[in-house]
Structure 1
Amino acid sequence: MICSSCRAALRTQRSPPAALLRPSSRSIVIAPRALLSTSASPRRSLSPRHLSSRATLSSSSTAALPSPTPARLYSSSSTPPQRQPTSIEDEDPLPAMTPAEASIAAVLSAALDPTFVLVQDVSGGCGSMYAIQIASRAFRGQTLLKQQRMVNAALGDRVKEWHGVQIRTVVPEEEE
């Protein structure tokens, strides 16, 4: 079950909205260039019924048409070469934290002296559910339940404002 805040955040992330993809009888339908075949006659038009179904295109017809949308920015091939790390030391294995995530991590760092802490907003950006991964020497000898109670105690009343929290605790290996 998802809370209304999480549902609203998920709705804002969808693009394009499903209502725009379904043509209605009152709307004007403009066929995308990729749906038009190069061999189609100019008199033939596409009805809304044709646009609502998924069209399959052959690779020869799509190769000749220019792409109306730019390349996806999240694909690895579209990353500019100057932005790629030059060595393994330059890579940051952890994602950047938002200010809310960083403040939660700071509270945990002050209370538990962790060797590793990662806080992620898993609610879609609305701040109602967090996933916390933490490794601390303070967890040594404690049961899993006691470790999670220690994290809850460190967070205090902040947890009461959230829809949920996922806590993963780890005891770091002893260094000799």
Structure 2
Amino acid sequence: MICRACLRASRAGLRSEASQRLASVQTPSRALSLASTRFAAPAAYSTSALLQQRALQTPARLPSRTYSTAASEQPASAGLEKPADLDEGEAQVWDILIREFAPTNLVVRDISGGCGSMYGVDICSEKFRGLNMLKQQRLVNAALGELVKQWHGIQIKTSVP
């Protein structure tokens, strides 16, 4: 690659010692004119031709992820088992959320210290796909309905598998 100063000197016919050394070094040259790069691409460099050329130059890509049909036929919550350490309030919330959302991951905890006035819910469900966080949390609040009105508060973390 030649710097701009050396390029200008070679165009003007003034070859310095450094530019003569650079000229003697064999470097790959690019045959692009200023007009073709700034204003219009020649027909050989059309978009489809460039895409085809790039496809030939890129290495083979990794195969795309495949999903088994057996897993998709089963309900998503089939792998979730109700934890044995849930108290009565946590179990009630667990049952409602399993029924409504078929989550792939669900954690329900009484974070009020045991009095049942505040719960923390961490839920991962496919039903949340395409929804923003506020809409996801509104769905959880709507599913829990009257229970939420009896509590001091609820902490909801939602995600999509």
Shorter-chain TM-score bucket reads 0.3 to 0.5
RCO higher in structure (CA 8 A, sep ≥6): 1
| Structure with larger Rg | 2
The structure carrying a bigger helix percent of its residues is 2
